[in-house]
Structure 1
């Protein structure tokens, strides 16, 4: 064993995790969070690039609205597949290799999309790209939470959602600037190049999870942990902590999620993700159109939709800042409740343009914060050995809600529903999710971190 520098003592195996939870955030830790935020910015662009270019693609290939709708959904289908079947590998082979591989997949899909020759080819490539994005989103959110201390864990994970919203907004502005001059393919090409350039950046700057190294013990685990400890200004470990039981394979991870100890928590989180992402994607997808149906002009409808997305940039960051002072679950319940109250007021305010635009921006802030809150809550609810599997499966269930919501809303409108009816229904969905979270508590087999980021003693079932 290497000799320790004079004046420094080796950390006990259990103290490094405690030091990360309770100590101040080092520059290295914030750097790890910043890399994850950057990855989410690129994902925001890559996910919504089809929305940015849909009109131009439809015009070139003469697509019907239903065909364009399939293209718009293809990326979400891929993300669901990636979150469900690729993200769990991060619990087995490591967060970092899965993220690097998924970045390469997303970059390849974007670059090939720029050269696609038919709508069928583009749709298949959107699914392929989405698989990569689904893996990146799950892995990067887990790493953000694992490198943040207890106080700033909610903010660290929430900033990923802020990055996603920033990437989507910048992507929309870039698409407007490029599509007219260079065509829709240039937007995909730009996104593909940017994502490809991120692969070497993540290779050199994105660290592996300390919790993963401790739990799974890959080759040279102790040496790798001590390198990370030094970079965070912590003393090295003399030896690894006692091993803990971990699921042997991917299917075992899913079985663990639905074990008697975790089943209640898992099902509640899955239902919460389904409902919140269904409501969120309804709001973001249909607001411009429904504002026009409610009496605004086409330009005013687009303005309302844009303000909603801009508000979303600040919603996740605000939730994270509040989570540094209050229990994350309680902050999320408040966000859900406020969103439920604002939605009926928004659709009733269309006769007063200023009020409608203001409420639209505020709804964007709170609705995006609801999604960010679930992203932050879920990884900390599970132990290290199934953390990526838990978040990935929840994201996959959420994507199903995201895919269904716009289609169901369209069918309801065809059957005579009014915009007011739809917004009242979505308001009830957000309110119902707030009630669901009141039932959420750590499972009997306690995870390493509580939803607030605090250590939870085994058997503690007190809600966060």
Structure 2
């Protein structure tokens, strides 16, 4: 029995859905963490006397750590195992969160935010791959969209809690809670999350046969596991190479360019709106509490948008749906800030902006694993996420500089909307060369349910 083939072609079991739920929870830590610094920004600014540019640098610190973590730890995860990488990364993340609560200066806070980001980067490159590998071929697009929704869920639920925490216990309390959630997630991974099947097949550690058979048993599959099987997940792996250089060979270079550029653009817009909305809404005249409520609506819409994206991909190709979502996100972004004078309306628009921009993130998480071979999945996802994080790093810092330079909140949102339009143009470069997980080129776009 080739375990990967059985997973691809069998209905998903309760245990598979449990793995997806845990990975989604881990992704929610990213959403919680971004809102932690976003919601804390006003109190941090007052305590440390920060300018807009300085605050932008503190906000970008964790994003820089995420970028480095994704770039460096993605290839490492392909070598030591995706499960091992998740456990190591969670420990690093928890240390960063707990120590952020002890910061006595902006420099200390920035340093521990970098450590926090390193952990999150390692978590994301591995959980994205495990979610994809434990989903059936039929449900893969929906599963990855649910996984991507974790960010919005973590931000929306966490944001709601943060409003009360900050009011009652100050900004440091949100980082203490984040560290506690990371410790809890580590226990879930240790006891419930198995290793990636493709890693066990490709790297063949000494106990791979035993571990694959144990995984098969927990999934409810009967019969011995063939450790030497070369199923659809690995067919063609031998001629695409491994490691970072394989991302630029003849087969992958065009896909890599599209994935990297789109990640950069969309994460620029995504982290701008999630990081600066509370502050910019406050600049338009809303109170701190109302600004936070608008941001919670934004993140709630994000959780919905990720799942909606997955439903759309059951009928249309990932690339086509992603292009549509990027155009809608650009238009909504440009008019969102003009609704600030009507509280009920701006909350609704916040939900819609969150739906569209999170749908774009979900699309990238679906598109990237299906674009590389099983031996390159963590490397491809890690470098895509890492390059995207550089866009995320630039967004908060550039926004702070624009605000200090006299830009109005309205002008800033229009500018970001224009940037997002570029994503739909870049995605045209994927036309006709979308690839399956085994890196065999497709002549035409197909729904992700047909890819791995």
Interval containing the TM-score (normalised by the shorter chain)? 0.7 to 0.9
Give the equivalent residue in structure 2 for 1:365.
355
Asked if 1:198 corresponds to 2:191, the answer is no
Q: Once the 2 structures are TM-superposed, how far is the Cα of residue 246 of structure 1 from its aligned partner? A: 8.5
Segment drifting more, 55-64 vs 182-191: 55-64
Asked if 1:429 corresponds to 2:449, the answer is no
Q: Once the 2 structures are TM-superposed, how far is the Cα of residue 281 of structure 1 from its aligned partner? A: 2.1
Whether the 8 Å contact between 1:440 and 1:463 is mirrored in structure 2 is no
Structure 2: tracts of 5 or more residues without a match: 447-452
Q: Once the 2 structures are TM-superposed, how far is the Cα of residue 73 of structure 1 from its aligned partner? A: 1.4
Within the candidate set 233, 240, 246, 2:228 is matched to 240
Whether the 8 Å contact between 2:28 and 2:154 is mirrored in structure 1 is yes
Asked if 1:267 corresponds to 2:249, the answer is no
Whether the 8 Å contact between 1:381 and 1:442 is mirrored in structure 2 is no
Within the candidate set 74, 80, 90, 1:103 is matched to 90
Question: 2: distance between equivalents of 1:332 and 1:102?
Answer: 29
Question: 1: distance between equivalents of 2:160 and 2:60?
Answer: 21
Give the equivalent residue in structure 2 for 1:463.
445
Give the equivalent residue in structure 1 for 2:378.
388
Give the equivalent residue in structure 1 for 2:330.
340
Q: Note closer, same or farther for the CA distance 1:441–1:101 as it changes in structure 2 (3 Å cut).
A: farther
What RMSD, in angstroms, separates the aligned Cα atoms of the two structures? 2.7
Structure 1: tracts of 5 or more residues without a match: 1-10, 450-455
Q: Note closer, same or farther for the CA distance 1:173–1:288 as it changes in structure 2 (3 Å cut).
A: closer
**What SS does the corresponding residue of 2:243 show, helix, strand or coil?**
helix
When normalised by structure 1's length, the TM-score is 0.86
When normalised by structure 2's length, the TM-score is 0.88
Asked if 1:123 corresponds to 2:113, the answer is no
Asked if 1:135 corresponds to 2:122, the answer is yes
Give the equivalent residue in structure 1 for 2:449.
none
Give the equivalent residue in structure 2 for 1:7.
none
Q: Once the 2 structures are TM-superposed, how far is the Cα of residue 361 of structure 1 from its aligned partner? A: 1.6
Whether the 8 Å contact between 1:154 and 1:320 is mirrored in structure 2 is yes
Whether the 8 Å contact between 1:41 and 1:166 is mirrored in structure 2 is yes
Question: 1: distance between equivalents of 2:336 and 2:46?
Answer: 33
Question: 2: distance between equivalents of 1:301 and 1:112?
Answer: 27
Within the candidate set 271, 276, 281, 1:281 is matched to 271
Whether the 8 Å contact between 2:30 and 2:151 is mirrored in structure 1 is yes
Q: Which has the higher contact order (CA 8 A, sep 6+)?
A: 2
Question: 2: distance between equivalents of 1:258 and 1:99?
Answer: 26
Count, aligned residues: 440
Higher Cα radius of gyration? 1
Show CA shifts across 1:416-440 (max 9, x none). 6555544443333333212322321
Asked if 1:171 corresponds to 2:169, the answer is no
Question: 2: distance between equivalents of 1:56 and 1:107?
Answer: 22
Within the candidate set 18, 41, 61, 2:28 is matched to 41
Q: Note closer, same or farther for the CA distance 1:113–1:293 as it changes in structure 2 (3 Å cut).
A: closer
Within the candidate set 141, 145, 148, 2:135 is matched to 148
